[in-house]
Amino acid sequence: MRTLTHLLVAAALAGPAFAGGTTVDFESDTLGWIGPSGTGGATFLDAGAGAGGSTGLHTVFNDFGITFRNSANPAYLGDLASKGTVTISIDTLVNQVSFFGSPVSRPWLVELRDYDLAQGGYPWTSVWYLFDDISAGPGYTTYAVTIADTTSTTLPAGWGGYGDEDALANPILPDGVTFTDVLAGVDEIAFTTLQPGFFFGFTDFDVVVDNITISYPDGDPWTDLGGGTVGANGPDTLAGTGTLVGGSPTNLTLTGAPSNALTLGWVSFAPTPMPAIGGTLHAFPFSSQFFFGADAAGSVAINVPWPAGLPSGTEIWFQFLADDPSSIHGITMSNGLKATSP
C-alpha cells in the first residue's frame, strides 16, 4: 500500500496555491473561471498570451461588457468575513476596447456576489471595487485591492454596493445588509466592465487575464471543514496535527468508524464540495484514494513526516468514508479536513 508520504509528495504537482490563499494561472485548467461566450465571440485558454509568455484566459467578444467569473472554486468563495484581511488581484492585458471602431475605455472592477441576499427583483446582492478604467495598451497591468477589515459593517473607501437603489437610482446595498454580511456568504466572484449604475453600448473587447489571486493572513495549517455523519460508533471524526514544515511529524487520525471497518481515504487538490449521504463531500472530486482498515476501536492512525520541498501554501483536502451497515446509506463519512503547507 502506498504511504501518505507518497501522497503528499504528489501534492507538489497540484499547482500554485499558497498559504492563506490561491492563485489560478491557467497553465492547464481554468479551475472554475469562465468568461463571456455565445454569439458575440469566445473565451479560451491561450498559450503564450499570459503574463510572461505563459497561458492566459483570453476573450474576444462584442457585447455591452465582459465578465470573468467563478462560482465553483471554493478558494474564492464562502465566508470571507472570517479572514480578517483579504487581498484580491488580477493581471490584465487589454488588446482592444473599441466602440464602432473607435478606441474607448471601460470600467474594470471586482465584484463579490451573494445570491442568497438578493431581493426586490435583483439577481444578487454584491459589494464591488472599481480598480480603474481600462483601454488598449501594451503589456500587463496588475490590479489589486486589499480589504483591511472584513468584519466592517460599512463600505470601505472605494467600495460600492448593489442590490437596491437610492432616490436618485444610484446602486446601494439593500436596507439592513452590511459589507460584512455580503463577505460572509460569497457565492460568486467576478471581474467585470459592467459597473453597477452605468450602461454601455455594444463594445468590441480583446482582453486576456492571468494570475487571479486571493490571499489572506496565515493561520492554523489545519482547517476542520465539518460535514461528517454519525454511524454505529458515533460521528466519524478526522483530525490532523503537525506544523506541516518539511520533515516535521504529521498525523492524521480517524475516530468513530465501526470496529474493524474498511475505510476509504480521499484526497483532493481542487475540490467542489457537494451534499451527500447526510453530510458534505469536501474532498471531491478526489485526486487519489487509499484503503485503510480501522482497528477494534474504529480508529485509523497515519503518522509520517511532512515532505520537504512542497510549495508554500500547498492545499490538500482529506476526507474518509467508512463501511457502516447500520447507516441508511451503508457508509458514513468523516468531516472534511484541509491542510495548508506554510
| Overall domain count for the chain | 2
DSSP 3-state of 12: helix
Question: Do residue 236 and residue 281 come from a single domain?
Answer: yes
Which are the contacts of 101, defined by CB distance < 8 A and separation ≥ 6?
Answer: none
Q: Which residues form the domain of 42? A: 21-215
Based on the domain organization, do 69 and 168 belong to the same domain?
Answer: yes
- If asked whether residues 235 and 123 sit together in one domain, one would say no
One domain for residues 57 and 122 = yes
Distance between CA 259 and CA 223 in Å, rounded? 27
- Let me know whether 35 and 125 are in one domain: yes
Q: pLDDT digit string (tens) for 32-54?
A: 999 999 999 999 999 999 998 99
Res 304 pLDDT > 90? no
Per-residue pLDDT tens for 106-162? 999 999 999 999 999 999 999 999 999 999 999 999 999 999 889 999 999 999 999
Q: Both 173 and 259 in a single domain?
A: no
pLDDT in tens, 227-250: 899 999 999 999 988 777 777 788
The answer to whether residues 131 and 228 belong to one domain is no
Domain co-membership, 239 together with 277: yes
Instruction: Check which CATH number belongs to the domain holding 30 and give it.
Output: 2.60.120.260
One domain, residues 238 and 137 = no
Cell numbers given for 117: 441576499
Mean per-residue pLDDT, 245-261: 88
* Residues 183, 235 within the same domain: no
Measured over the CA atoms of residue 32, residue 35, residue 41 and residue 44, the dihedral's sign is: negative
Stronger pLDDT, 314 or 125, i.e. the higher one = 125
Residues 149 and 249 occupy one common structural domain:
no
More confidently predicted of 62 and 315:
62
Average pLDDT over residues 278-288: 90
Using the predicted structure, report yes or no on whether residue 18 has a pLDDT greater than 60. no
Range with the lowest mean pLDDT among 93-97, 213-217, 275-279?
213-217
- Asked whether residue 41 falls in the same domain as residue 151, the answer is yes
